[in-house]
Structure formats: C-alpha cells, structure tokens
C-alpha cells in the first residue's frame, strides 16, 4: 500500500472535508452494501440508466485499483449486485459506487 493510501486510511472523512473545502461528500441516501466501507483509488466513471451493460463494460475496462463510479440517476433499476462486485474485486478493482438500486444484498 502506498504512503498516501496509508495516510488516507488513518484519517476520517470529516477531517478530510474540513481540511479541504473543495472535497465533496456523497448524498446521505447512498449506503454501503459491504463490510468494506472505505474506498480509495482513481475514479472510473460511467453513466447509464436502464441497462447495466455499461456497468459491465466499465468493470472490464477499469484498471486495477480504480473505483468504478456509476451514475445511474438514482433509478429503481438494479445496476449492480453482489456477483458483479465479487467479480470486480477478483479483478483487482478498488470498488464500485452505484447511484441506483443494488440487488443480491442480504
């Protein structure tokens, strides 16, 4: 793990936001769906609405360590789930953040 990543994990989100006023936080409606709630890495962004093909492609195209960020427009359509997440982590992705429904969650 890089020195920057180690420093990130040692500091809380509130301290980062207080120190850098340009840092934004996510909407409170977004919830963690796994035990790994802290993500760190460059963002690989994708926008899709009804079909999750773009999400599958993003997971395939993202480099190891990148966090796939999905703008799903807060839709009720599931654009990710447990099986997709497991595959992404197995490929070394840094995580997935989805602004849409999520399936296969306990």
- pLDDT tens digits, one per residue of 69-80: 999 888 888 888
User: 78 exposed, middle or buried (CB, 10 Å; 0-12, 13-18, 19+)?
Assistant: middle
Rounded CA-CA distance 67/58 in Å is 10
- Name every residue whose Cβ is closer than 8 Å to that of residue 91 and which is 6 or more positions away in sequence: 59, 60, 64
Residues 2-31: tens digit of each pLDDT? 787 787 778 877 787 788 878 776 666 667
Tell me the whole-structure pTM to 2 decimals. 0.73
- The residue behind tokens 């990130």 is 8
Read off the tokens for 80: 């990710």
Give 105's pLDDT tier (boundaries 50, 70, 90).
low
Read off the tokens for 98: 């989805």
Helix (H) or strand (E) holding 1: none
């Amino acid at each position: 793990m890089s020195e920057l990543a180690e420093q990130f994990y040692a500091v809380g989100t509130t301290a980062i936001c207080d120190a850098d006023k340009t840092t934004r936080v996510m909407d409170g409606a977004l919830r963690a769906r796994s035990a790994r709630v802290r993500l760190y890495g460059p963002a690989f962004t994708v926008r899709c609405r009804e079909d999750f093909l773009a999400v599958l492609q993003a997971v395939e195209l993202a480099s190891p360590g990148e966090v796939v960020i999905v703008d799903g427009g807060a839709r009720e359509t599931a654009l990710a789930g447990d099986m997709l997440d497991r595959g992404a982590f197995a490929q070394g992705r840094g995580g997935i953040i989805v602004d849409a429904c999520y399936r296969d969650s306990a």
